[in-house]
Structure 1
Amino acid sequence: MTTYNASAAQLRATRWPDVFSIPSGLRAAISGRVAAAIFRHAVGRLPLQVVLPNGDQIGGANATTAPTITVHDEAAMMRRIGESGLIGFGESYLAGEWEADDLAAAIAVFAGGVDGLVPAPLRALRHAYLAAQPQGDHQTEQHSRHNVERHYDLSNDMFSTFLDGTMTYSSGLFADPANADSADLADAQRRKVDRILDQAGVGEGTRLLEVGSGWGELAVRAAQRGATVDSVTLSQEQLDYCRKKVAEAGVADRVQVTLQDYREVTGTYDAVVSVEMIEAVGLDFLPVYFAKLAECLSPSGTLVIQAITMPHHRVLETRNTYTWIHKYIFPGGALPSVRMLRDQAATAGLHITDDLPMGDSYAKTLQLWAEHFSAERDALESLGFDETFRRMWTFYLRYSEGGFRSGYLDVHQLTFTRPVTS
């Protein structure tokens, strides 16, 4: 573990108060003991090996060949889990209280067995003792820009430490995910973008609306096909980067990038695309989102969305849960199910004509991002991002990779059109 001087320790405690403050008191002690019992019971049923501080090893079937978690401070880890569930589990990792030899694989094991990890009576009580999402994270027009800024405006240079040269922050589409490596990532991103544009019928003269600009790769490639593009974002950092990228690509006359909420967009377009932006919409606002996109779409137009999804029953079970991802990565974020997207689109007069699931590609994308990020420790430090931030983003990337590996998460490219009427 890294050794900090007093001033550095004080700074990190101020910046990450819940990471460097272990729950104390009678409730924490009791909940920690309960959490330890549940944890040991769960691990005993999973293909996972856990090495405890006293050297004891616990684990279920095939534990000797399974991912290994090494616990450095069991009492602190269990108090955190008992106090705040999976938020505490993540904070314990940030605090260095446990490690894993393959973090994504360990998370995949937990995600694959999630339905049986906690006894049903305790699952029913989780909303009574776990924190609710803050009202300030609710994805209203008032709050959405701030939520986006807290993630996407961290630093373009920080994102460039792990993204490929296209600066595309969404799943690539690999021809062969199992055998892909870092050299294939940029091609996978371009393949993803080109398939979206093909599905949307984007070509010479197409009027295209992009909801969620990213760092501009899709807008540039659409303009190079001869389309005129209006792209909207709530990130000032992305806006500045996109405008520069568009100008350098020589397509500034065909692309307009605007700092604007999707709810404020007007106009009519031949095609509308939105790549992994729906996760920042919020489940309560899905009707508004689809209504607006349908309003902007010409009668014969096509909408293409790339969306991270969860199984429908899990969305319903967790929709009001405040998670580690909300607290540290995506405030106000929410993953829908394909069923929700289909139903809300239908209400807006659109139906799915094509569905490409590509979860294997996202697992590979996240693996490569995490490897890139891990290799850039010095660059991150020079940008002002400390060791706790590095552990936080490592956990986020590997946590997400594990979700896709297990099938708990998926990602879909969905194509929508209006039903043909006779």
Structure 2
Amino acid sequence: MTDLQPTRRHLDANHWPGLDVVPTGPRARVSARIARTLFRGAVHRLPVTVHVGDATYGRGGPVAVVHRPEEFFARLGRDQLIGFGEAYLTGAWDAEDLGGFLSVLAAEMPRLVPEPLQKLRGLVVRKPPAEQVSSPENSQQNIAHHYDLSNELFQLFLDRTLSYSSALFEGDEPLEEAQVRKIERLLDQARVGAGTRLLEIGSGWGELAIRAARRGATVTTLTLSVEQKALADERIAAAGLSDRISVELRDYRHAQGEYDAVVSVEMVEAVGWQYWTTYFQTIDRVLAPGGRVAIQAITMPHDRMLATRNTYTWINKYIFPGGFLPSVRVIDEITRQHTTLRMDAPFAMGASYARTLQRWDQAFLAASDRVLTLGFDETFLRMWHFYLEYSLAGFASGYLDVHQLTFERAA
């Protein structure tokens, strides 16, 4: 495994614009002082250990070391959680058990900032840039930012099914087995079998479509990723199922035809809250009488969803432009108010996502030298590791969850 501790001199400003510049000036100094005070107050009562120069904060627990305090607080003061993540990318701070440290912070996320100051949130946090809103004009660029990075990159840390979503674990079984269980449960919920006309929104690399076709279904699967489509077509052909599966480079809003079942795995998160109604109305439009819908969705608590939906996050900037997580409640409200779809009892599986992410990160770190040979740099390694552990922390702490949601027509 390669060393994941770059300094600022390793940063290529062409690949990481602005990341090599530390905030300076009077305003930066003031915001840094405020950030230092708030950080110290928040961490002081948490079960963590944070070393900042000669000082140590926290009640004991996962250890973080702030190597360059001036940079750390300058970034945190100017850009809040985005700056916190960027300070990790530059090596201004580190943690040996990154996921454990972040899990403690995630569990306390609604309370890290004193409640009176939370009312000023709208004046401080940045709003998502207009060019990242997942409109018909922007969606393909948003998807390409992440999913068109490199098929080879994803193959390095995913299992053989190339499933890039939460598996469903029952014990300590191999990741591939848990991924197959997840897929088969979704297909069962949608009652996919011989003769089913299935629409999949979000193709991934084709595994769900292949398994549905093996049940005797005819599958139309939609993607906006050129790279995913190329490899999905290749895998489908190798399985001898090209006559039963059509992979279309098409926005979900332009779905055509009538289907007995619609399945979508962790796609609604990329839609953006502005288009959730459109997403479900599209599914409603193409679903045949008596049809079923099965969706796997990463979710967050309803109150946090409402509080953060206009917030530009580190994940938006570096990983998923335009993405935002719904709550189960808002999905239920939208489908009841704007469609004929009615949701069955949700099936929660957040603990499985924490385990899935742990497996992915272990595989990614083990393959870090090979990631470098693909043309990615050390800052990318730190970014991807932070992304996987940051996500793991959300599920391990219970701040995030993932649900399989089943819908049928209102009676």
CA contact (8 A) 2:354 2:393 kept: yes
Name the aligned partner's letter for residue 251 of structure 1.
Answer: L
**Alpha-carbon separation, structure 2, partners of 1:124 and 1:20:** 32
SS of residue in 1 equivalent to 2:157:
coil
Please list, as runs of the form range in 1=range in 2, the aligned pairs for 1:357-376 lying within 5 A after superposition: 357-376=348-367
Residue 136 of structure 1: aligned partner: 131
The C-alpha deviation readout for 1:35-69, integer Å capped at 9, x for no partner, is: 01111111111111101223x32112xx1xx1111
**Alpha-carbon separation, structure 1, partners of 2:20 and 2:40:** 25
Aligned-residue Cα RMSD (Å) equals 1.5
Partner of residue 368 from structure 2, selected from 343, 367, 377: 377
Superposed displacement of residue 344, structure 1 = 1.2
**Alpha-carbon separation, structure 1, partners of 2:316 and 2:356:** 21
Residue 42 of structure 1: aligned partner: 42
Residue 414 of structure 1: aligned partner: 405
Superposed displacement of residue 3, structure 1 = 8.9
Superposed displacement of residue 408, structure 1 = 0.6
Question: How many residue pairs align between the two structures?
Answer: 408
Q: Is 1:17 matched up with 2:8?
A: no
Superposed displacement of residue 16, structure 1 = 1.1
Instruction: Check 1:129–1:379 CA distance in 2 against 1; reply closer, same or farther (3 A cut).
Output: same
**Alpha-carbon separation, structure 1, partners of 2:203 and 2:27:** 46
The C-alpha deviation readout for 1:274-316, integer Å capped at 9, x for no partner, is: 0000001111111100000011111100000000000000000
Report the more deviating stretch, 235-244 or 9-18: 9-18
Residue 175 of structure 2: aligned partner: 185
Instruction: Check 1:29–1:411 CA distance in 2 against 1; reply closer, same or farther (3 A cut).
Output: same
Partner of residue 248 from structure 1, selected from 232, 238, 259: 238
SS of residue in 1 equivalent to 2:406:
strand
Please list, as runs of the form range in 1=range in 2, the aligned pairs for 1:143-292 lying within 5 A after superposition: 143-176=138-171, 180=172, 184-292=174-282
Superposed displacement of residue 111, structure 1 = 1.1
**Alpha-carbon separation, structure 2, partners of 1:407 and 1:59:** 21
**Alpha-carbon separation, structure 2, partners of 1:3 and 1:121:** 37
Q: Is 1:92 matched up with 2:87?
A: yes
**Alpha-carbon separation, structure 2, partners of 1:363 and 1:142:** 34
Name the aligned partner's letter for residue 26 of structure 2.
Answer: L
**Alpha-carbon separation, structure 1, partners of 2:283 and 2:407:** 11
Instruction: Check 1:313–1:4 CA distance in 2 against 1; reply closer, same or farther (3 A cut).
Output: closer
Instruction: Check 1:3–1:113 CA distance in 2 against 1; reply closer, same or farther (3 A cut).
Output: closer
Identity level (%): 50
Name the aligned partner's letter for residue 345 of structure 1.
Answer: T
SS of residue in 2 equivalent to 1:168:
coil
CA contact (8 A) 2:357 2:391 kept: yes
SS of residue in 2 equivalent to 1:203:
coil
Residue 293 of structure 1: aligned partner: 283
Report the more deviating stretch, 122-131 or 236-245: 122-131
**Alpha-carbon separation, structure 2, partners of 1:213 and 1:345:** 23
**Alpha-carbon separation, structure 2, partners of 1:11 and 1:33:** 26
Please list, as runs of the form range in 1=range in 2, the aligned pairs for 1:318-333 lying within 5 A after superposition: 318-333=308-323
**Alpha-carbon separation, structure 1, partners of 2:314 and 2:191:** 39
CA contact (8 A) 1:18 1:91 kept: no
**Alpha-carbon separation, structure 1, partners of 2:190 and 2:345:** 11
Residue 73 of structure 1: aligned partner: 68
Residue 126 of structure 1: aligned partner: 121
Name the aligned partner's letter for residue 232 of structure 1.
Answer: L
Name the aligned partner's letter for residue 125 of structure 1.
Answer: L
Q: Is 1:351 matched up with 2:350?
A: no
Partner of residue 329 from structure 2, selected from 322, 332, 339: 339
The C-alpha deviation readout for 1:236-256, integer Å capped at 9, x for no partner, is: 000001100100001111000
Name the aligned partner's letter for residue 31 of structure 1.
Answer: S
Superposed displacement of residue 212, structure 1 = 0.3
Name the aligned partner's letter for residue 248 of structure 2.
Answer: T
SS of residue in 1 equivalent to 2:222:
strand
Name the aligned partner's letter for residue 348 of structure 2.
Answer: P
SS of residue in 1 equivalent to 2:332:
helix
Q: Is 1:116 matched up with 2:81?
A: no
Please report the TM-score for the alignment, with normalisation by the length of structure 1: 0.94
**Alpha-carbon separation, structure 1, partners of 2:193 and 2:116:** 55
**Alpha-carbon separation, structure 2, partners of 1:126 and 1:75:** 24
Superposed displacement of residue 11, structure 1 = 6.2
Please list, as runs of the form range in 1=range in 2, the aligned pairs for 1:1-12 lying within 5 A after superposition: 9=9, 12=12
SS of residue in 2 equivalent to 1:96:
coil
**Alpha-carbon separation, structure 2, partners of 1:78 and 1:121:** 21
CA contact (8 A) 2:6 2:379 kept: no
CA contact (8 A) 2:6 2:90 kept: no
CA contact (8 A) 1:360 1:404 kept: yes
Superposed displacement of residue 9, structure 1 = 4.4
**Alpha-carbon separation, structure 1, partners of 2:400 and 2:170:** 20
Superposed displacement of residue 107, structure 1 = 1.1
Instruction: Check 1:4–1:218 CA distance in 2 against 1; reply closer, same or farther (3 A cut).
Output: closer
Name the aligned partner's letter for residue 209 of structure 2.
Answer: A
Superposed displacement of residue 2, structure 1 = 7.1
